Amino acid sequence: MSFPIYPAFFIFATIMVITPGPANLVLMLSGAKFGFYKSIPFVIGVTFGKLFLTLGLGLGLLTLVYSNILLLNTIKILGTVYICWLSWKILFLKIDKTPLKDQNLLPPSFINGLLVHPVNPKAWAMIIAAYTQFTSFGESNLEISWFIEVAIVASTFFTIQVISHSLWCWGGDIILNFLAKTNISRQIVVMVLSILTVGTVIYSNFII
């Protein structure tokens, strides 16, 4: 990846990471349900899941899946099922009327987060696009320069995600704190976020 190309890649990566998608919405959903601090392991898991996927694709998987339609469709189906299940799990976890910080609740774990991006077709699509459009993919995959390009792509995505994923989850926490001062039911808002999450993953995987 040459220096003149990197700004274009950085803009592409930023737009793809910060825009609404299954991962960002489920992070907001967790923040709205449990608060930001209880969701930190989940945020870390989501972020590292994308890092591992980016490295895996760059170091060999990309060649395998690039033209394998069956594999990509399987990922779409598994991703849709997993995101829907995770949204359902968060939505229907019972919360009583005591302050949230005093409740012994178990938010999505690091492992739950680790699986979000590997089964998220949007993540696969943006990573594949990054490698095929902004790097020398197909020309020097066994040379040192290719490993440097993989490191650049992975570290850029990772840095943007640390900020973006944290902000999306924090946004859910802001909603939670707002609801604590109003008569609006927290469960209603969480339900709306759950519906948006499920709708987004179905739309992005099977409609567009």
pLDDT tens for each residue of 161-183 = 999 999 989 988 787 676 656 65
Separation of alpha carbons 18 and 161, rounded Å: 8
- The C-alpha atoms of residue 153 and residue 58 are separated, in whole angstroms, by 9
What does the pLDDT look like over 47-80, one tens digit per residue? 999 999 999 998 887 777 766 667 666 766 766 6
Burial of 179 (0-12, 13-18, 19+ CB in 10 A): middle
For the chain, what are the domain ranges? 41-206
The model scores a pTM over 0.85: no
